[in-house]
Chain A
Amino acid sequence: MPFLREFGSYLPERIVSNAEIGAHVGCDAEWIKNVSGIEQRRFAADDESVADLALRAAQACLEKAKLSASALGMILIASGSTERQFPGPAATVAHRLGLDSTPAIDVPLASAGTLFAMSLASRLCDSLGEILVIGAEKMSSVVLRQPMERGVAILFGDGAGACLVSPTEGKARVLGSALHSDGAFAEDLRLPFDRPLEMNGRSVILQASRKVPRAISELLGKHGRKAADVGTFLMHQANQNLIDRVALALEVPADRFYSNIARYGNTSSASMLIAAAEWAESGWPAGEPVCFAAFGAGFHWGALLAQVEA
Chain B
Amino acid sequence: MDKRTKINEILNEIAGKAISPAADESLFDSGLLDSFALADLVSVIEKAFDCKIPDADLNPRKFDSIERIESYLEDHGK
Chain A positions within 8 Å of B, measured between CB atoms, are: 35, 182, 184, 200-203, 205-207, 209-211, 241-242, 245
Contacts and interface: CB of A to CB of B under 8 A. Distances in A.
23 contacts: A184-B56, A201-B35, A202-B28, A202-B35, A202-B38, A202-B60, A203-B58, A203-B60, A205-B36, A205-B38, A205-B39, A206-B35, A206-B38, A206-B58, A206-B60, A207-B58, A209-B36, A210-B55, A211-B55, A241-B36, A242-B36, A245-B36, A245-B39
Nearest to B34: A35
B59 interface: yes
B34 to A, nearest CB: 8
Contact of B39 (A35, A182, A184, A206): A206
B14 interface: no
B41 to A, nearest CB: 9
Interface string B38-78: 11001000000000000110111000000000000000000
Interface of B: 28, 34-36, 38-39, 42, 55-56, 58-60
Nearest to B58: A206
A206 B42 CA distance: 9
A207 B54 CA distance: 11
A154 to B, nearest CB: 14
A207 B55 contact: yes
A211 B55 CA distance: 8
Given A207-B58, A210-B58, 19 more contacts: A35-B34, A184-B56, A200-B60, A202-B28, A202-B35, A202-B38, A203-B59, A205-B35, A205-B38, A206-B38, A206-B39, A206-B42, A206-B58, A209-B36, A209-B39, A210-B39, A211-B55, A242-B36, A245-B39
A241 B37 CA distance: 11
B52 to A, nearest CB: 11
A301 to B, nearest CB: 11
B33 to A, nearest CB: 10
Contacts of B58: 203, 206-207, 210
Contacts of B34: 35
Contacts of A242: 36
